[in-house]
Chains A and B, each alone.
Chain A
């Protein structure tokens, strides 16, 4: 176990900049999730941390060792790949023990390590099989076994769950969480799945076009997104963006929009400098309430109603802007009816539409 420090790491292929001055500090035992759409550079960053690809500049420090010029095999790291990357010609046992074998660990010690890891992952009965005879979930476990048996300074996961079906994915996600809680190994985890990021990470770095958009703990990322990209990327259904102009009214600041005006009482942002300027209000679907008694309300026409079981999603046409609200399962408005929804303004974020940043 060791802290990880990424300092000003850059990567370019020819004239194409894939990573732009990445700075990340991860504490010992932390769980860092690199989150972003495909092509954002998150996998490249992971490969640089692993030493599989050289960086174009900057430093990677694992523990107290600058590993820029250290080969992957000497970095004392372990990695789990999207395709599992199990050696098809070797048994599960040898697959798990391969890292130890390469490091000339004595047979008996190796055997004990493999057994222990296999037990932890409940794959003891599979040790003699070949990877080809395993199911997707089992392969995933073997890949994780191969990583944990080495007791490395750093675990690296490269979209490990994206080849599994939905049910197994949830199961393995829990498993990874449990393993991290038990082993406490510093971990870097790459994914494009925001749920994985939210559930697993102690720190999340949201990336886009080779730039870190926000680096914070999951709660901050969810509740106080740094910009509209992060706000829109995290959460399903996605955050609503209500465009309008900020104005000073009698009762305080209001957001004047095409379908009326929204009182901003209770908002936790200093926005005075934006009066008479266009702003965007980021409203999460669950901050709406069906009770209209609230101080801040939005009115519109019901456009679509989607019952999901526990909730009902209502899409409201507010002066031409579509707002999705997550309401209780009993709320079943009729199509075309007018509807007024209350909003908990403490959870609303205002953005500057020009820069996209949170004000």
Chain B
């Protein structure tokens, strides 16, 4: 009996390894293939016979992308938009999330649910009026305007995710600090936020990744090189100039590099945050 039990456990363990390795391969392969393509010469990409490993390495696509297209400007625009988005979320979302985590007041549940339901509004339904409004207030085609538009779906996410981290910081700590001589705001800034700082960093990075990746709002709300972000720019290049695959691959690799690095660094805390936020939702 014991033998068959451990035998069946072994079989399941092997099956688990097999599944995970297969899935990991499927997940990583498109990225690897794009990476390979980005360092292949044109003759290795466009061939009659498939060339798997590059016959010789080249960084020409990267150099050409960086020098000949407006890519650096796109990346800078994206960086600005992303930073402003994170900043807005940080300033308004942190305190809101703290209030939800700490205080019970009439309408609290409804308000929190409201923040969640906001995500149900179709993007298109918001994009069109935002286009009109942004045009009226002169924020159309600006990084700040785009960042403000991003907060429409990222701020609720930020608040929900961060709330999980604030919930995890014991309430008694603030009571202790208040008795020790802090005001509420002093306790929040001096005690609670330092404790939740890992969560705060993870939440910010999550929002940053989402803002960095966003395509649809950017497509609609930016109209010129002055504020266009990289996903829109890359997509336009594909449409307009029949962008060679090598260059497209290089653009993709450059763009996801920060995402992959950030994700690898903070994935543990971030995963915890996303799940607590979502579980409670």
Contacts and interface: CB of A to CB of B under 8 A. Distances in A.
Q: Are any A and B Cβ atoms less than 8 Å apart in their complex? A: yes
Given A83-B170, A88-B195, A73 B175 contact: no
B276 interface: no
A117 interface: no
Given A83-B170, A85-B172, A89-B194, A78 B179 contact: yes
Contacts of A85: 170, 172-173, 175-176
A103 B181 CA distance: 6
B225 interface: no
A323 B173 CA distance: 46
Given A71-B183, A88-B195, A81 B175 contact: yes
A73 B172 contact: no
Given A71-B183, A98-B180, A99-B180, A81 B194 contact: no
B166 to A, nearest CB: 15
B250 to A, nearest CB: 43
Contacts of A47: 175
A73 B176 contact: no
Contacts of B181: 73, 98-99, 101-103
Q: Which of B176, B177, B179, B183 has the most CB of A within 10 A?
A: B179
Contact of A98 (B172, B175, B177): B177
A146 interface: yes
B172 A81 contact: yes
B182 interface: yes
Nearest to B170: A83
Interface in B157-205: 170, 172-173, 175-183, 186, 191, 194-195
A98 B186 CA distance: 13
Given A89-B194, A89-B195, A79 B183 contact: no
A77 B180 CA distance: 8
Interface residues of A, number: 27
Interface string A77-111: 11101110101110000000011011100000000
A52 interface: yes
Given A52-B178, A89-B194, A89-B195, A73 B173 contact: no
Contact of B176 (A75, A79, A103): A79
A75 B180 CA distance: 10
A146 B181 CA distance: 12
B185 to A, nearest CB: 12
B196 to A, nearest CB: 11
Given A81-B172, A82-B172, A87 B191 contact: yes
B180 A52 contact: no
Nearest to B178: A72
Contacts of A82: 172
Contact of B173 (A75, A87, A103): A87
Contacts of B183: 71, 73
B105 to A, nearest CB: 11
A75 to B, nearest CB: 8
A87 B177 contact: yes
A130 B183 CA distance: 24
Given A88-B195, A89-B195, A72 B179 contact: yes
Contacts of A150: 180
Given A52-B175, A81-B175, A85-B175, A73 B180 contact: yes
Nearest to A50: B179
A146 B180 contact: yes
Contact of B179 (A79, A83, A87): A79
Contacts of B180: 73, 98-99, 102, 146, 150
19 contacts: A71-B178, A72-B175, A72-B178, A73-B178, A73-B180, A79-B175, A79-B176, A79-B179, A83-B172, A85-B173, A87-B176, A87-B177, A87-B195, A88-B195, A98-B177, A99-B180, A102-B181, A103-B181, A146-B176
Instruction: Report the 7 A-B pairs with minimum CB-CB distance, sorted nearest first.
Output: A102-B181, A99-B180, A85-B172, A85-B176, A81-B172, A72-B178, A73-B181
Interface of A: 47, 50-52, 71-73, 75, 77-79, 81-83, 85, 87-89, 98-99, 101-103, 146, 150, 156, 158
Given A77-B179, A79-B175, 7 more contacts: A87-B176, A87-B195, A88-B195, A89-B195, A101-B181, A102-B180, A156-B179
